[in-house]
Structure 1
Amino acid sequence: MTSPGNDSADEADRLALVVVNFASSSLLAANLVDPGLRSVIGFVVVVDNPSTVDESRRVQELCAAHEWVLVELPRNEGFGAGVNAGVARARELACTRVLALNPDATIDPDSVRTLLAASRADPRALVAPRIVRPDGGGWFSGAVLDPRTGTTRRASGIELEGDSTWQTGACFLVTIAMWDEVGGFDDDYFMYWEDIDLSWRWHEAGGRLVLLEDATAVHDPGGTQFGAGKSPLYVYFNCRNRLLFARKRFASRFGRRWWPASVRYAWSVATRGSRRMLAKHPLLVWSAFRGTLAGAFGSLTPRRAPARR
């Protein structure tokens, strides 16, 4: 397969768009077909975390029809592992940068060019656009983690200064060289909080987080969620991974300080969207309880380096 034309990069500076799919082939069909994107992106790499036979067949058909590069994983290994696999494939295709994008998000070619220019100016930066909802309202523009309590708040400013800031994994652009230096996503998180962990290690490696207000991605968070609220898996992994992060990154320094707030955090996660969801889906409370216990007392496994996947 030959690389499409790229009006913003030569052959020595090739960009791959990496999208992780799980039961979202309809979103791929709707969000990745913009012909303008192919003028600034060398390859579209779709990583399929398998769900059903029909879904896998549909993803295969889409990739064949649009000349996307398909990476089929043997099982659903989670979001972070999926991105790691996509970056590994981009490396094999001689790409030097990757743009990670959620399947329920879109980005226009001009915003990609803006991200590319910022990455070229600072190859060690994790560069991200401002992310908005379909109605134009803000969805994410950077956030700050309080390491003493495990709480987060929104950040402001074009450059996210300070080692407690973090970027969402929904859309970002990085060089593969810096990605390899940091170690990519930690597969242990499966989904949620892996972007906070990545941002933290990005700071530790001496990189910067840069938010570009004049670049925009549109994210429809309802596209992969549980009806009008949140799924049991969303609740479980948010509660689990908050405490997993504390144990991995802080150990005895701050980690146990997060425990007293865990019940309040679990309740806030389970009731996001509407408290009426609990009446319809009482499993959310059980998921919050299980996730909190798993995060506090589950085993810690060694983090795998994506370069050796």
Structure 2
Amino acid sequence: MHPTQGKEIAVIVLNWNGRALLEQFLPSWIEHTPDCAELIIVDNGSTDDSVAFLQSHYPEVATLCFQENYGYAEGYNHAIQALDYPIVVLLNSDASLSAGWLDEPLRLLGEHSDVVAIQPTIRAYHEPSRYEYAGAAGGYIDAFGYPFCRGRIFDTLEYDEGQYATPVEIFWASGACLIVRRSAYLEVGGLDRDFFAHQEEIDLSWRLNARGYRILHAPSSIVYHVGGGTLSAESPRKVFLNFRNNLLMLYKNLPAPRLYHVLLWRVFLDTLASLVYLLSLRPRHALAVLRAWRGFLVTRGEYEAVRGENLRRTTTPPSPAILKPYSLLWHYYILRQRTYSQLP
């Protein structure tokens, strides 16, 4: 597909066997996609009647159909490579839009040439005044690689009461709704297809930061997200992917000797996490942490060339303002600081 004349933005929804989600959320996407943007449903080799549903009920909506399921990361990579729009929006199929959600992001991109990605405020679809787990008001990671957000630290979710109402620089933007300049996305290699799911947007954001680009949170842009559509929070598979992908991300992006210092601490901290799962009678989750480390050690060698390229192309190491220098575990569990505003 080529851009419709006058359209500078592609709002891309990746669909795989999501007929029910299309029925539920497509009216919101159509209603709130502005004239300057094109809504495009990318079907990732669905085997249900998603495509037939679109053709019969929404023939005016642009579609791009793949013959096979490329997965989340590679599906978006293929779509963004094929769709030549200056700005692309990666929108989850379980997200609902609101009026004017693109206004502030487009203004921020227009005002700052070094800003290449924007995250809206992500609120919970079923509890609209509360931040949603996958992104909240923009993400950071701590000194040992644990991700968290303004508005969400571990399982503590704040209500949006205007406490994060100013646009600020963030370390990572949520994949639930990621607004990004296509040229920068392609320049850094897009999403890592081998992550399968979880933390691939943090890894992408790290590469963008390292090349000297900036990522901002746009507080007045509101998107509502259901979350947990791929794997539930109670899934051992989700635990495995989160821990393994996090370790791979650190290996890909952290320079030595900092990498080895962090990994040494992570052996201790992740072993502790496994013991906590075991003591809380969740042996499959405990095993998933150990399997994640095994997966990391087995896979690490395949990333040596990627790691070398990332370190060579790093022009701007992330500042302490966005890659935090403290331990989130210490502040959350020992000092009982449960909200972002309480942290250093």
In structure 2, the partner of 1:244 is: 248
CA distance in 2, matches of 1:292, 1:22: 30
CA distance in 1, matches of 2:291, 2:72: 21
- Does 2:31 align with 1:36? yes
In structure 1, the partner of 2:12 is: 18
Aligned in 2, Cα 1:113/1:288: closer, same or farther, shift over 3 Å? same
CA distance in 1, matches of 2:56, 2:193: 28
Alignment counterpart, residue 168 of structure 1, candidates 150, 171, 174:
174
Alignment counterpart, residue 119 of structure 1, candidates 104, 109, 112:
109
CA deviations on 1:253-285 (whole Å, 9 max, x unpaired) are 3333233222245567x79xxx57x3xxx5433
CA distance in 2, matches of 1:149, 1:84: 29
Alignment counterpart, residue 58 of structure 1, candidates 25, 50, 53:
50
How far off its partner does 1:63 sit?
5.2
How far off its partner does 1:64 sit?
5.9
CA distance in 2, matches of 1:297, 1:251: 20
Aligned in 2, Cα 1:137/1:69: closer, same or farther, shift over 3 Å? same
In structure 1, the partner of 2:323 is: none
Aligned-pair RMSD on alpha carbons? 3.0
Alignment counterpart, residue 85 of structure 1, candidates 78, 82, 91:
78
CA distance in 2, matches of 1:264, 1:235: 14
How far off its partner does 1:300 sit?
2.1
CA distance in 2, matches of 1:27, 1:286: 33
Aligned in 2, Cα 1:41/1:103: closer, same or farther, shift over 3 Å? farther
In structure 2, the partner of 1:130 is: 121
Q: TM-score, normalised by structure 2?
A: 0.70
Aligned in 2, Cα 1:161/1:267: closer, same or farther, shift over 3 Å? farther
Between the two proteins, what is the percent identity of the paired residues?
Answer: 23
In structure 1, the partner of 2:293 is: 292
How far off its partner does 1:199 sit?
1.1
CA deviations on 1:227-271 (whole Å, 9 max, x unpaired) are xx3323312211110111111112543333233222245567x79
In structure 2, the partner of 1:306 is: none
CA distance in 2, matches of 1:203, 1:190: 22
How far off its partner does 1:109 sit?
3.8
Aligned in 2, Cα 1:70/1:41: closer, same or farther, shift over 3 Å? farther
Alignment counterpart, residue 102 of structure 1, candidates 80, 83, 92:
92
Instruction: Identify unmatched segments of 5+ residues in structure 2.
Output: 151-163, 307-344
How far off its partner does 1:222 sit?
4.0
Instruction: Identify unmatched segments of 5+ residues in structure 1.
Output: 5-9, 304-309
How far off its partner does 1:291 sit?
1.8
CA deviations on 1:2-61 (whole Å, 9 max, x unpaired) are 977xxxxx71x521111222343311221122332344354323333346x2x2x32343
Determine helix, strand or coil for the equivalent of 1:206.
Answer: coil
Which stretch has the larger CA shift, 173-182 or 213-222?
173-182
How far off its partner does 1:97 sit?
1.0
Judge conservation of contact 2:270–2:289 (CA < 8 Å) in 1: no
CA distance in 1, matches of 2:107, 2:191: 24
- Does 2:176 align with 1:200? no
CA deviations on 1:143-171 (whole Å, 9 max, x unpaired) are 2212x422233346744447xx2221111
- Does 2:236 align with 1:232? yes
Task: Count matched residues.
Answer: 278
Aligned in 2, Cα 1:45/1:89: closer, same or farther, shift over 3 Å? farther
Q: Which amino acid aligns with 2:218?
A: L
In structure 2, the partner of 1:48 is: 43
Judge conservation of contact 1:100–1:172 (CA < 8 Å) in 2: yes
CA distance in 2, matches of 1:119, 1:201: 19
- Does 2:141 align with 1:141? no
Aligned in 2, Cα 1:118/1:49: closer, same or farther, shift over 3 Å? same
